[in-house]
Amino acid sequence: MELNGKRVTLGVTGGIAAYKAAELVRLLVRQGAAVRVAMSEAATRFVTPTTFQALSGNPVAVDPWDAGVANGMAHIQLAREADVLLIAPASADFLAKAANGVADNLLTTLTLARGCPLLVAPAMNRQMWHNPATQRNIATLAGDAVGILGPASGELACGESGEGRMLEPEEIVEELIAHFQPKPLQGRKVLVTAGPTFEAIDPVRGLSNLSSGKMGFAVARAAREAGAEVTLVCGPVALPTPRGVTRIDVTSALEMQAQVMLRAVTQDVFVGVAAVSDYRPRSVSEQKIKKDGSPPPVIELVENPDILAEVAALPRPPLCVGFAAETRNLAEYAETKRRAKKIPLLAGNLIQDGFGGDANRLTLFDDNGQRALEPAPKLTLARQLMARAAALLENPHAPY
């Protein structure tokens, strides 16, 4: 329940995407948020206020002059009670009015009267979205520090396909969770590696490991939540890309090395979470190796590059964060690895505590000593790790 105790006022404008707002309310309540819904009159033609009242457990505001509201000022009450005002869907009409300070209905008046951040999730026909007037309005809102969530590309209600589709409710919830996270990495660039690498033996076989990539993807999401511009270089995994993160897919250690070294010098933080294969075959068979009664093939191995050490050895390296997954002697091996590679921060764990799972147990090692984190979901641990990295960026000797 990552939104536990947060007060969300959800504004729903008229459009077919209003049906998604019902699921959005359900998900927000499941995350622990207290949700109040305000609707434009046009929105009630798509979904009834009764639906939102049942899902949120609160009365739904439609009329700005509702006599049931104290002193008849629903826009003031809803604005003062919220930690965030979220408009989803946000129609082209609403965006135009919000950008120009028009206050002619409950939602637009609420927008002007708010004392909290405003997030909007646009939804409209692709031509309406790309119209220069809409783009001017979006630019104005962004310049006023309004958070723009989407839109996505895909099939639209009009039968066309393109940009203008409202984000899915799960994506909006993820954005809202990110909104409430601290921003110690605001304006920073973070490069993350994740997952295994695959070193080919022949066209169908290779050397790899059981890394799921979940920890690396959690770190990428946590860094983005903390305000960073994040690039994720990942080996072969089937995980959804965290919202707002640039993803680069690779297969082998050499491919990962090339993508990392191409970008490392421009980064503020490098987090090497990937389980890079230590070795690769010296040669790769062009054809599938057959089991034909001959003696088993002899596969000669050569050492792969140490990407983390290579980044740390740059003349002006980013803050390097390493990972050490061990089966025993964690403190000894992790600290030895950190000092040998000359990296400021290392997160260590025992494989039996979280390899491949959704939770983990991490111990952080840096020049100030070590700190064992409580067992937790990987995203929770990733947020703590990024907070520590941000602290070391500001002060290499920052105490825990």
| Residue 83 in domain | yes
- Are 321 and 172 part of one and the same domain? no
CATH number of the domain to which 203 belongs: 3.40.50.10300
One domain, residues 210 and 109? no
* Band of residue 71 on the pLDDT scale cut at 50, 70, 90: low
Contacts of 16 (CB under 8 A, 6+ apart): 46, 157
Same domain, 173 and 202: no
Residues 254 and 155 in one domain: no
Q: From CA 43, how far away is CA 64, in angstroms rounded?
A: 14
Q: Which of 116, 158, 234, 320 is catalytic?
A: 158
Residue 344 forms part of a structural domain: yes
Distance (Å, whole) CA 301 – CA 303: 7
- What phi-psi label fits residue 81: left (phi over 0), alpha (psi between -120 and 50 degrees) or beta? alpha
* 67 domain residue, yes or no: yes
Residue 58 is classified by DSSP as: S
Work out the average pLDDT over 65-74: 56
Cβ count near 228 (within 10 Å): 28
- Last residue in a domain, options 127, 148, 180: 180
**Residue scoring higher pLDDT (292 or 393):** 393
Could you tell me which of 400, 321, 325 has the C-alpha nearest to residue 360?
Answer: 325
Does 317 sit behind a cis peptide bond, omega within 30 degrees of 0 on the bond before it?
no
Domain that holds residue 331: 189-394
Does residue 343 contact residue 367 with C-beta atoms inside 8 Å? no
Same domain (yes/no): 141, 203: no
Phi, psi of 365, rounded to the nearest 5 degrees: -125, 130
Instruction: Indicate the Cα dihedral angle 274, 280, 285, 288, nearest 10°.
Output: -50
154 within a domain of the structure (yes/no): yes
Whose CA is closest to 387, among 163, 67, 379? 379
256 closest CA partner among 314, 310, 217, 209 = 310
Supply the pTM of this predicted model: 0.90
Count of domains observed in the chain: 2
* pLDDT of amino acid 225: 97
At 68, is the pLDDT very low, low, confident or very high (cuts 50, 70, 90)?
Answer: low
State the pLDDT at residue 357.
80
5 φ, ψ to 5°? 85, -10
Residues 124 and 74 in one domain: yes
- Same domain membership, residue 165 and residue 67: yes
Q: Alpha-carbon dihedral of residues 374, 376, 382, 383, nearest 10 degrees? A: -80
116 has catalytic annotation: no
Q: What's the pLDDT tens digit per position in 192-201? A: 999 999 999 9
Average pLDDT of the residues in 71-90: 80
pLDDT for 81: 83
Q: Which residue bears the tokens 């990110």?
A: 178
Domain annotation covers residue 175 = yes
Peptide bond into 151 cis (omega under 30): yes
> Alpha carbon of 285 to those of 208, 276, 282, 289, 372: distances in Å?
17, 22, 10, 7, 45
User: What does the pLDDT average to over 161-171?
Assistant: 91
Mean pLDDT of 132-155: 94
pLDDT confidence of residue 326: 87
Looking at the fold, whether 62 and 146 belong to one and the same domain comes out as yes
Q: Verify that 29 and 60 share a domain, yes or no.
A: yes
Residue 160 pLDDT exceeds 90: no
Question: CA 271 from chain center: how many Å?
Answer: 15
Average pLDDT estimate for 136-160: 89
pLDDT higher than threshold 90 for residue 76: no
The whole-number pLDDT of residue 32 equals 95
pLDDT of the residue at 74: 58
pLDDT digits (tens, 9 = 90+) for 182-235: 999 999 999 999 999 999 999 999 999 999 999 999 999 999 999 999 999 999
Residue 72 pLDDT class (50, 70, 90 cuts): low
Phi first, then psi: give them for residue 16, nearest 5 degrees. Answer: -65, -25
Model pLDDT for residues 267-304, shown as the tens digit of each residue: 999 999 999 999 999 999 999 998 888 888 899 999 99
Domain-embedded: residue 399: no
What's 73's domain CATH number?
3.40.50.1950
39 and 137 inside one domain: yes
* Same-domain pairing of 31 and 112: yes
Q: What is the pLDDT of residue 291?
A: 87
| Interval 3-16: pLDDT, tens | 999 999 999 999 89
The pLDDT tens digits of the residues spanning 13-58 come to: 998 999 999 999 999 999 999 999 999 999 999 999 999 999 999 9
The two tokens of residue 29 are 């309540």
In a domain, 111, yes or no: yes
| DSSP 8-state symbol, 385 | H
Across 60-78, average pLDDT: 66
Q: 115 and 158: one domain? A: yes
Residue 70 has pLDDT above 60, yes or no: no
Mean pLDDT value across residues 321-335: 91
Residue 115 in any domain: the answer is yes
Which of the listed residues 180, 209, 236 is the one where a domain comes to its end?
Answer: 180
Extract the tokens encoding 14.
């008229």
Distance from chain centroid for Cα 288: 40
Phi, psi torsion values for 355, nearest 5 degrees: -65, 115
CB-CB contact of 325 with 349 (8 Å): yes
Contact 357, 213 (CB under 8 A): no
Average pLDDT score, the chain: 92
Structural domain ending residue among the three candidates 128, 145, 180: 180
Distance of CA 394 to the CA centre of its chain: 23
CA 279 – CA 255 distance, rounded (Å): 14
